[in-house]
Structure 1
Amino acid sequence: MPTLTKLYSMQEASEHNTKDDCWVVIDGKVYDVSSYMDEHPGGDDVILDVTGKDATDEFEDAGHSKTARELMETFCIGELDPTSPAIPELEISPKKQTDVLMDLTKQYWAVPVAIVSISVIAGFLYLRRK
């Protein structure tokens, strides 16, 4: 008799994104790693950074051992529903970055102008005393 596998959407998995309630998706499987957060050798921040997206690449890049992979299977609670839409990742457009840079340069123009102005005034006062 085949076992029924619970299917989860990426949206549902992404809602579990706190230290006390944390799910991750790796290789199409959903893992509830809430009870493992304090024990993870890389710290809980590493896991929290990959909630809400497919963490397969990050998991593979970390070079986990065979023992870690076996332990991971104990946290498996189901599979990612292939028919559910993935949550699109945020894209940072270059236009936004240049807008931020322009805002910063407009905001801090007063500092160099003030330095130059004080230098010019100090120079005039110094030359006037001679």
Structure 2
Amino acid sequence: MPTITKLFSMQEISKHNSQNDCWVLIDNKVYDVTSYLDDHPGGDEVLLLATGKDATEEFEDAGHSAEAREIMKEYCIGELDPSASVSEGQNATETRSLAGTLGFINNYKQSLYWVLPVAIAGVAVFVSWVYLKKK
């Protein structure tokens, strides 16, 4: 007997975006990870940032292990409805674009942590050079 898979639209998935109701979409499969938030090795914040949207890119970028992929199976509640995703294609593209932009901003902010110490060191070297040149 074939397994019946529940199909969800992107609109339905996007409604489940809170700590008390947390769904993520990865590789067109829908996962209800609400009960897994406290157990997630990366912390619940990571999952909460991925709720209610297609989190495939973020999931793949994190480099999850085969064991993590096995754990995911127990949280799978269905799949993305392919007929609904065609009409919602623009929204999905916009969501991925926004996620990419936010990721870029976070990476940019993290890269700035070293800028201030390097700038201070550069100013110190310049001031020392100017001071020693006058002597």
Percent identity of equivalent pairs: 65
Is 1:79 aligned with 2:79?
Answer: yes
- Give the residue type in structure 1 aligned to 2:71: L
Residues 45-84 of structure 1: pairs in structure 2 closer than 5 A: 45-84=45-84
Matching residue of 1:23: 23
Per-residue CA deviation, residues 42-73 of structure 1 (Å, 9 max, x unaligned), is 11111111123211110011011111100001
Give the helix-richer structure, 1 or 2: 2
Give the drift of 1:18: 0.8
2:37–2:44 contact (8 Å) kept in structure 1 = yes
Q: Which runs of 4+ in 1 moved over 3 A?
A: none
Give the drift of 1:79: 0.3
CA RMSD of aligned residues (A): 1.6
Distance 1:65 1:51 in 2: 20
Per-residue CA deviation, residues 15-63 of structure 1 (Å, 9 max, x unaligned), is 1111111000000000000000011111111111112321111001101
Aligned residues: 92
- Structure 1 residue ranges without an equivalent (≥5): 93-130
TM-score by length of 1: 0.66
Is 1:41 aligned with 2:41?
Answer: yes
2:22–2:52 contact (8 Å) kept in structure 1 = no
Distance 1:23 1:53 in 2: 8
Which one has the largest radius of gyration?
Answer: 1
Matching residue of 1:4: 4
Distance 1:52 1:10 in 2: 8
- Structure 2 residue ranges without an equivalent (≥5): 99-135
Per-residue CA deviation, residues 102-127 of structure 1 (Å, 9 max, x unaligned), is xxxxxxxxxxxxxxxxxxxxxxxxxx
